[in-house]
Structure 1
Amino acid sequence: MPLRPDPAPSKWDYRLQRLWLTPLFRALIRTGIPSFGFVFLFTWYINDPARQIAIVDTWNGMISAVQDRPEFMVGLLRIEGASDQLRQDIQEALPVDLPLSQFVLDLDALRQALEGLDPVERAEVRVKSGGVLLLKITERRPAVAWVTADGIRVLDATGHHVARLTDIGKAGALPLISGEGADAHVDQALALFEAAAPVTDRLVGLTRVGNRRWDVMLTGGQRIMLPEGAPAAALDRALALHAAKDVLSRDVSVVDLRIGDRPTLRLSRDARIELKRLQDLERLSYATEAE
């Protein structure tokens, strides 16, 4: 009778079966080795510069094929709320060469570039249907003309630079201010111009003195010297004095209000000469009578 084979596994079969039942070994065989092989082959494949260039070109071509579709292209520019001069400046300064894909346009960067222009207070940038790039501009409103040694600058009510003028005649009806630091106190200057409404026909402008206080300049070389504190109230007092006594119509060169409760009047040069002449005549008359 032949011998039956032993059904028990051999030593190596038993060890292999036990090893296969180990979770870590099975994960290594099923996942680890294939993953390692894939990474190795992929690394070897893309390590060639020519293949890298081909992959990048293919990817860029796919992106361009989508971005450059006609429905995504911006071909028209529309500017709203800007004057003709500002419109021209925007077209020259805008870093956009249309037509251009919407995906390439950086709307936030465009808005910041527009708001970096001196005459622009706010800007809204958006793309409308039909491929229109819309720029809605809020311009700064000129409030005063600041006369400096470097030229004439137009400022808005906050003191922000709006434009530069080459000729004082181009300032038009804008109120004039001068002096160091005057641009930082435009709001106060506007309040003084409003208070000086009764003498607008004689008002030349305001001068900032020592970056501390204002002088009101009038025609004929007259000057009203205002204090540091409450200058508008002091100007109201000077105008009330003029309304009562017609002070500014006399030979007065300076009305000094720096000491609040004691205004001082300074006569013009011609008035001082005439006063001195009258005083000399009076002294001569007294001397003649004494003899």
Structure 2
Amino acid sequence: MANVKPDPAPSKWRYRLERLWLTPLFRALVRTGIPSFTLVFLFAWYINDPHRIEAIRTGWQNAVDAVQDRPEFMVGLLRIEGAGQQLQADIQEALPLELPISRFKLDLAELRAELEKLDPVRSVELRIKSGGVLLLRVTERTPAVVWRGEDGIDVLDAEGHRVATLDSLDAAGALPLISGEGAAEVVPEALTLLRSADPIRDRLVGLVRIGDRRWDVILTGGTRILLPEVAPAAALDRALAMHEARDVLSRDIAALDLRLPRRATLRLNPGAVAELKRMQQVQRLSYEEAEDG
């Protein structure tokens, strides 16, 4: 029986599969699409369990903590420079910080914002130095005046920012006193007037803001210098010149009114008014007697 050679031609289904394999879209689907879909399906099935998700999250956090909490990354000391003893205590109380702590868990911008909320702090610089030291370099506000307002007694700096709150004026020391509505908003102008009043510093009690428009200078004995709303420093210089020439502020007066630029008005105390009337009456009687004689 003669050997029958196999037909080299492919079968019908094999032919169709080979033709389909030559299609680029089919090859991409088999090589990339199906494996990718399978991986996504398996991943979605795996993480669809809350316990597995929590385990993944815990494992990742533990790995991160293991790196961040290494000894070379830990901050264990706090050093404060430029602050007084009381401010240092206030800073340590205000800082939301428990040492030791990893430097990766320190938000220096947030710490700076918290510290600058303290009244005595003008600015603060934070740095992490070698050896695990957190350095705070503080610039304090300089007290300039004491402001007595409706809500209490505050110490202000030269810009009108609050430095501290006092229980009484006795704790103010040698700081000048200002009061009145709106006085805290014009501290630079008040300081200019206080510098101008330096020649009568021994008699100066303070400044009072009137109607949030102008100032009165208060002297010992209750004498007032009423300054105008415009150019108060120039008016105060004029009052001091009058005092130097005629010793006006040493007289028994209640007020020296300079609100009108071209006219200064003296307001006498009641005792001085009575004495003036008595002297005028004596002078009138003397004049009448001279005429009768």
TM-score (norm 1): 0.95
Amino acid at match of 1:152: I
Match of 1:98 in 2: 99
In 1: Cα distance, 2:248 partner to 2:284 partner: 28
Match of 2:152 in 1: 151
Residue 222 (structure 2) pairs with residue 221 (structure 1): yes
Asked if residue 195 in structure 1 is aligned to residue 196 in structure 2, the reply is yes
Q: Tell me the residue number matched to 1:60.
A: 61
SS at match of 1:95: coil
State the secondary structure of the residue aligned to 1:263: strand
2:28 matched residue in structure 1: 27
Q: In structure 2, what is the Cα distance between the partners aligned to 1:228 and 1:11? A: 108
Amino acid at match of 1:271: A
1:89 maps to a residue whose letter is: D
**What does residue range 1-291 of structure 1 map to in structure 2 within 5 Å?**
4-285=5-286
SS of equivalent residue, structure 1 residue 257? strand
- Give aligned pairs, total: 291
Which shows bigger deviation, 10-19 or 197-206?
10-19
Counterpart residue type for residue 115 of structure 2: L
Letter aligned with residue 111 of structure 2: L
Once the two structures are aligned, what percentage of the paired residues are identical? 66
Distance 1:243 1:69 in 2: 74
What is the distance in 1 between the residues matched to 2:290 and 2:69?
Answer: 108
Which sits farther off after the overlay, 49-58 or 92-101?
A: 49-58
Letter in 2 for 1:111: R
Report the TM-score when normalising by structure 2: 0.95
* Separation in structure 2 between the aligned mates of residue 19 and residue 128 of structure 1, nearest angstrom: 68
Cα 1:288/1:244, change in 2 over 3 Å = closer
Cα distance, 1:2 vs structure 2 = 5.2
Deviation sequence 1:217-246 (CA, Å, 0-9, x none): 111111100001111011001101111111
Of the structure 1 ranges 176-185 and 21-30, higher mean CA displacement relative to structure 2 is found in 21-30
Quote the offset at 1:149 in angstroms.
2.8
Counterpart amino acid of residue 180 in structure 2: G
Mapped to 2, the partners of 1:239 and 1:286 lie a distance apart of: 37
Q: In 2, Cα distance between the equivalents of 1:282 and 1:244? A: 27
Q: CA shift at 1:287, angstroms?
A: 5.8
Q: 2-side partners of 1:260 and 1:224: how far apart?
A: 13
Cα distance in structure 1, aligned partners of 2:135 and 2:80: 6
For residues 255 and 27 of structure 2, the distance between their equivalents in structure 1, rounded to whole angstroms, comes to: 103
User: What amino acid is the match of 1:204?
Assistant: V
Deviates more, 1:205-214 or 1:262-271: 262-271
The one-letter code matched in structure 2 to 1:38 is: L
Q: What is the CA–CA distance in structure 1 between the aligned matches of 2:152 and 2:51, rounded to whole Å?
A: 61
The separation in 1 between residues aligned to 2:179 and 2:47, in whole angstroms, is 69
Counterparts of 1:80 and 1:126 in 2: how far apart (Å)?
12
Greater shift after overlay, 81-90 or 273-282?
Answer: 273-282
Structure 2 CA distance, aligned partners of 1:149 and 1:107? Answer: 37
SS of the residue 2:260 aligns to:
coil
What's the offset of the Cα at 1:10?
2.8
* 1:211 to partner: Cα distance: 0.3
Paired amino acid for 1:128:
K
2:128 partner letter: V
Deviation for aligned residue 1:290: 7.0
Deviation string for 1:46-100 (max 9, x for gaps)? 2222222221221111111111111111111100000111000001111001111
Structure 1: runs of 5+ lacking an equivalent: none
Q: How far apart in 2 are the matches of 1:31 and 1:194?
A: 84
> Deviation of residue 203 (structure 1)?
0.6
CA RMSD in angstroms comes to 1.6
